[in-house]
Amino acid sequence: MKGKISPWAWVPSLYFAEGIPYFIVNTISVIMFKKMGMSNGDVAMYTGLLYLPWVIKPLWSPFVDIIRTKRWWVLAMQVIMSAAFAAAAFSLPHPSPGVVASGHAPVSLFAVTLVLFWIAAFASATHDIAADGFYMLALDRRDQSLFVGIRSTFYRLASIFGQGVLVVAAGLLESRTGDIPESWMITVLMSSVLFAGVTLYHVFVLPDEKACPDIAAGEGRQEPAARRTAKEIFCGFGRTFSTFFRKKYVWTAIIFMLLYRLPEAFLLKMMNPFLLDPAASGGLGLSTENVGIVYGTVGVAALTVGGIIGGIAASRLGLKKSLWPMALAMTLPCLTFVWLSMVQPDNLVVISICVFIEQFGYGFGFTAYMLYMMYFSDGEFKTAHYSICTAFMALSMMLPGMVAGYVQESVGYRWFFWIVMACCIATAAVTFSISRHVKE
């Protein structure tokens, strides 16, 4: 087709845009609220609740099929997220330095900001549904295979930008201005402006689903809603859920999905507060910009490398033989945080190495989890069943994360990380339970 827009023009930016709001809502929010004086318990509880849209997004995914086009949903959600982040920036309270230093700022100060982050979270989860659907509609099978690595790469770049660059920028602003609330207001506002720019770019470069003959015809890639009624879609939706819960060993699989990542669910929610808290409180006392470097760049790089090596290992060994090595890789590196909490080093290189080891193990061990979800979803409705599995995956991170802060406050960082190690027993138990059912 003459004038056809190359996928290179929009696939990288689409998946960069998919990643940015997720990391702002689920990771940057932890650091921001912590730096503005919210207690660890409240930070974990209220940012943990922000996971909910990713848990329940399969419930409204049929509406994305029924109403409008995937392109419309992508652009509409990007507009909503841009507006929500801009409003969140201006809604941030300016507590006094004394309140910030106390570490017990009342949650009521942040109520409006949390509501706006909730709106952004729901828009982001909906954007994920629409973006993945648009990707499959706008590209033929050959291009889908060709760009699967590109989309993953730019999602990881979004992770580095969100957890690294933006956090470092906030830290530098804190150092220059000495005003923590103002620094985070500027950072969130910059994120909003950037996202608005990406949205405007997509208005012009995302292919029109109805105008493009490659989408409107050929290879069975027509818009599903154009061929089915709402009643048919909801009947199919109900059948999808019923067939999922009739699968063999379904409850064993669900328990595995909920508990395999239990140590990591606790640890990830408290990792940044631990890096930020002063030594007197049991933390490492890093500055905001150093947290951005250690966790947002070194940690993300380790996670990515671990995932790549895990994929290579699994492709050679198979899922059954990979399960135990990956389960051990998922759990044993958590010992680095036990050591960090006991020694409390102030050397940035040593801290970075420990974070690298832990995140590498997490990336390597997470491969088995993803492969098992694919294995369990195989068969009729495998795409929809995989979506249900990812909802359980999000729930597995949400529930422990919500209480992690209260547990840490009650026992301190040192005992908290020993509790994380005790949770490794759950990982081993559920790995054993499914290993008997997985076939080569």
Q: How does DSSP assign 77-132, residue by residue?
A: HHHHHHHHHHHHHHH-----HHHHHHT---GGGGHHHHHHHHHHHHHHHHHHHHHH
Residues of the chain with pLDDT under 50: 1-2, 213-226
**Nearest of 223, 265, 300, 287 to residue 34 by alpha carbon:** 287
Say what the pLDDT of residue 209 is.
63
User: Which among 367, 370, 363 has a CA at the least distance from the CA of 314?
Assistant: 367
CA dist 232 to 64, 229, 235, 241, Å? 15, 5, 5, 14
The answer to whether the CB of 254 falls within 8 A of the CB of 393 is no
pTM of the model: 0.87
The confidence score (pLDDT) of residue 230 equals 62
- pLDDT recorded at residue 241: 80
CA–CA dist 25, 16 (Å, integer):
15
pLDDT at 125: 93
pLDDT at site 214: 47
283 DSSP assignment: S
The first and second tokens of residue 101, run together, are: 């230093």
Distance, CA of 272 to CA of 288 (rounded, Å): 9
DSSP string covering 151-220: HHHHHHHHHHIIIIIHHHHHHHHHHHH--HHHHHHHHHHHHHHHHHHHHHHHHHHSPPTTT-HHHHSSTT
What DSSP string runs through 31-52?
A: HHHHHTT--HHHHHHHHHGGGH
Q: How far is CA 310 from CA 152, 222, 303, 345, in A?
A: 15, 35, 10, 30
Q: Which residues of 48-62 are buried (b: 16+ CB within 10 A; e: fewer)?
A: bbbbbbbbebbeebb
What are the tens digits of pLDDT across the range 232-270? Answer: 666 767 777 888 888 888 999 999 999 999 999 999 999
- Nearest alpha-carbon partner for 434 in 285, 256, 240: 256
Q: What angle do CA 213, 216, 218 make, to 5 degrees?
A: 85
- Predicted confidence at residue 140, as pLDDT, reads 77
Please report which helix (H) or strand (E) contains residue 364, including its range: helix 348-377
Nearest C-alpha neighbor of 183 from the set 44, 289, 25, 45: 289
Report how far residue 168's alpha carbon sits from residue 158's, in angstroms, rounded to the nearest whole number.
14
- Relative orientation angle of helices 111-138 and 11-23, to the nearest 10 degrees: 160
